[in-house]
Amino acid sequence: LDPLSNNLLIFSAKSKAGSTGKQMKVNQDIAFASQKLAEGVKAFVVCDGHGLNGHLVSAFIKSRLLSTF
């Protein structure tokens, strides 16, 4: 497939949860893409969560942004 002629959006993201050395932490990162914007405009978003509720903040940002696109 030709990504330009078929409006196909392909991207990749990689994330790794941290650790304390003894225990793995919750992965708080979220990455997503959207092409539901103005013609030809695409959004690529990375939310890099930190702190006790970083995963909740990342999920909230993703939810809010996707509902506005």
Neighbours of 29 (CB within 10 A): 18
Question: Structure pTM?
Answer: 0.69
pLDDT tens-digit profile, the chain (69 residues): 445 556 677 888 898 888 888 888 889 999 988 887 777 778 899 999 888 899 999 999 999 988 877
Residue 46, C-beta contacts closer than 8 angstroms, at least 6 positions apart: 13, 29, 30, 31
The confidence score (pLDDT) of residue 1 equals 46
